[in-house]
């Protein structure tokens, strides 16, 4: 079991592990593991509950006994699915259970960027009483890229702001859209018309750098972009340029192409609010993710 937050809830599952005669090894380093560390760890495992640690083909080469990779979360972009399939390893995830947690963080980041909460906090603590002028969210246009579980929950949570909502998804859910009285448009139209854009697609070959220089050029000057999905979806170099030059208003980022983003120039900008990939890290979501990840693991191990 690699995810650090699992540690907090592991006692709840002792009974199940004992009953199923599963010997549990908890990630001893208490942080996201490297590929080398994963290669060592998987050697004798039958099952793996994994967070965002890399499960590459190199790692899987060492996993001779592995029968199941139970993802503790939704995004399986850290797992080589093809290689897993080739080795008959079952891959499961925990869809839906962390959607509310990620959606609530998304709402928090939107307001934070618009009202410069982090900057005001920093300045106030530093003795600099600067009363910033921010922007309101009400009555604006919200663009939602990816209307799966999280994207839909964001729309639901923001209902009270009377937003005009534009959506883009590879597989639109027209029934939901007509019920919600919102529209699917092309990615270009969404980018051109939205004041706040929020990203909720998985990271795949298709979505890698889905938002790069060309797309950023389509945004309004007052646009805010929020990414609580995966770092690789936005080209960070291009984003930095646009933010630095004031060609967009701001960004809220929970995820980065390299985590932690130690040397990222984005961290130096005042119009960016950053968090440490904490989207799913609420007590409520952690308990639910752990429960389902354990259930998936046990079911798959039993075949
Ligand atoms: P989901 O599968 O319910 O929804 C994803 C949506 O993206 C689907 O509607 C799908 O049709 C759409 N999509 C897929 N490929 C696309 C493409 N190429 N172009 C346009 N649309 C495309 O997933 P979800 O539960 O809403 O989660 C979305 C993502 O959020 C996850 O894949 C994960 O990477 C990320 N996530 C981040 C955190 C965090 O801690 N910040 C936590 C959970 C999930």
- 206 in ligand 1 pocket by Cβ < 6 Å? yes
pLDDT value, residue 137 = 98
- 230 in ligand 1 pocket by Cβ < 6 Å? yes
| Angle of helix 149-157 versus helix 99-115 axis, rounded to 10 | 50
- What does pLDDT average to over the chain? 97
- 229 in ligand 1 pocket by Cβ < 6 Å? yes
Q: How far is the CA of 240 from the centre of ligand 1 (A)?
A: 23
Burial track 231-246 (b if 16+ CB lie within 10 A, e otherwise): bbbbbbebbbebbeee
Instruction: State the average pLDDT over residues 153-179.
Output: 98
Q: Which helix (H) or strand (E) holds 239?
A: helix 236-244
Which tens digit of pLDDT belongs to each residue from 16-74? 999 999 999 999 898 999 999 999 999 999 999 999 999 999 999 999 999 999 999 99
pLDDT value, residue 196 = 98
- Of 29-33, 122-126, 173-177, 267-271, which gets the smallest average pLDDT? 29-33
Ligand 1: residue of 98, 143, 148 to mutate (most ligand atoms within 8 A of CB) is: 148
- 152 in ligand 1 pocket by Cβ < 6 Å? no
In terms of phi and psi (left: phi > 0; alpha: psi -120 to 50; beta: otherwise), the region of 21 is left
Q: DSSP character for 217?
A: T
- 254 in ligand 1 pocket by Cβ < 6 Å? yes
Instruction: State the average pLDDT over residues 273-279.
Output: 97
Residues contacting 265, CB < 8 A, separation 6+:
240, 244
CB 57: neighbour CB atoms within 10 A?
A: 12
pLDDT value, residue 7 = 86
Ligand 1: residue of 72, 79, 169 to mutate (most ligand atoms within 8 A of CB) is: 169
Whose CA is closest to 225, among 254, 205, 186?
A: 254
- Asked if residues 91 and 69 have their Cβ atoms less than 8 Å apart, the reply is yes
Q: How far is the CA of 230 from the centre of ligand 1 (A)?
A: 9
Residues contacting 40, CB < 8 A, separation 6+:
62
- Asked if residues 77 and 53 have their Cβ atoms less than 8 Å apart, the reply is no
Closest-lying ligand 1 atom to the alpha carbon of residue 255: 41
- 231 in ligand 1 pocket by Cβ < 6 Å? no
pLDDT value, residue 164 = 98
- Asked if residues 216 and 238 have their Cβ atoms less than 8 Å apart, the reply is yes
Take residue 82 and report the two structure tokens written for it: 């093809």
Which tens digit of pLDDT belongs to each residue from 89-146? 999 999 999 999 999 999 999 999 999 999 999 999 999 999 999 999 999 999 999 9
- CA separation for the pair 104, 60 (Å, rounded): 35
- 280 in ligand 1 pocket by Cβ < 6 Å? yes
Q: How far is the CA of 90 from the centre of ligand 1 (A)?
A: 20
Angstrom distances, CA of residue 203 to CA of 38, 89, 90, 91, 207:
21, 21, 20, 17, 6
Q: How far is the CA of 148 from the centre of ligand 1 (A)?
A: 6
pLDDT value, residue 30 = 87
Q: How far is the CA of 263 from the centre of ligand 1 (A)?
A: 27
Nearest CA to ligand 1 atom 36: 229
| pTM metric for this prediction | 0.95
Catalytic site positions: 230, 259, 277
pLDDT value, residue 185 = 98
Peptide bond between residue 166 and the one before it cis (omega within 30 degrees of 0): no
Q: Is it the case that residue 8 has pLDDT exceeding 90? A: no
Partnered with residue 168 across adjacent β-strands are 145
- 171 in ligand 1 pocket by Cβ < 6 Å? yes
Proportion of the chain above pLDDT 70, given as a percent: 100
ipTM over 0.85: yes
Take residue 2 and report the two structure tokens written for it: 């690699």
- 148 in ligand 1 pocket by Cβ < 6 Å? yes
pLDDT value, residue 303 = 82
Q: How far is the CA of 126 from the centre of ligand 1 (A)?
A: 38
Q: DSSP character for 147?
A: -
Q: Is it the case that residue 224 has pLDDT exceeding 90? A: yes
- Asked if residues 59 and 258 have their Cβ atoms less than 8 Å apart, the reply is no
Which tens digit of pLDDT belongs to each residue from 226-258? 999 999 999 999 999 999 999 999 999 999 999
Peptide bond between residue 83 and the one before it cis (omega within 30 degrees of 0): no
């Amino acid at each position: 079991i690699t995810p650090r937050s699992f540690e907090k809830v592991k006692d709840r599952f002792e009974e199940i592990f004992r009953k199923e005669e599963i010997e549990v090894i908890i990630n001893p380093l208490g942080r996201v593991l490297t590929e080398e560390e994963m290669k060592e760890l998987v050697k004798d495992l039958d099952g793996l509950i994994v967070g965002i640690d890399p499960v590459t083909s190199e790692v899987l080469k060492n996993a001779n006994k592995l029968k199941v990779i139970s993802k503790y979360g939704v995004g399986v972009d850290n797992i080589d699915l093809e290689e897993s399939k080739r080795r008959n390893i079952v891959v499961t995830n925990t869809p839906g259970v962390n959607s509310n947690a990620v959606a609530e963080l998304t709402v928090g980041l939107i307001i934070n960027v618009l009202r410069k909460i982090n900057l005001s906090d920093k300045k106030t603590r530093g003795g600099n009483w600067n009363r910033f002028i921010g922007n309101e969210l009400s009555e604006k246009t919200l663009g939602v890229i990816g209307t799966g579980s999280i994207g839909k929950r964001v729309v639901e949570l923001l209902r009270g702001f009377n937003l005009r909502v534009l959506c883009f998804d590879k597989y639109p859910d027209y029934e939901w859209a007509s019920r919600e009285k919102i529209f699917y448009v092309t990615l270009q139209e969404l980018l051109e018309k939205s004041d706040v854009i929020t990203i909720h697609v998985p990271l795949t070959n298709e979505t890698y750098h889905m938002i790069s220089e060309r797309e950023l050029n389509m945004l309004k000057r007052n646009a805010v972009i929020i990414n609580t999905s995966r770092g690789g979806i936005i080209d960070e170099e291009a984003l930095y340029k646009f933010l630095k030059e004031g060609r967009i208003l701001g960004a809220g980022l929970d995820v980065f192409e390299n985590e932690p983003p130690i040397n990222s120039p984005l961290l130096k900008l005042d119009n960016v609010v950053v968090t440490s990939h904490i989207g799913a890290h609420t007590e409520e979501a952690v308990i639910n993710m752990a429960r389902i990840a354990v259930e998936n693991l046990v079911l798959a191990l039993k075949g």
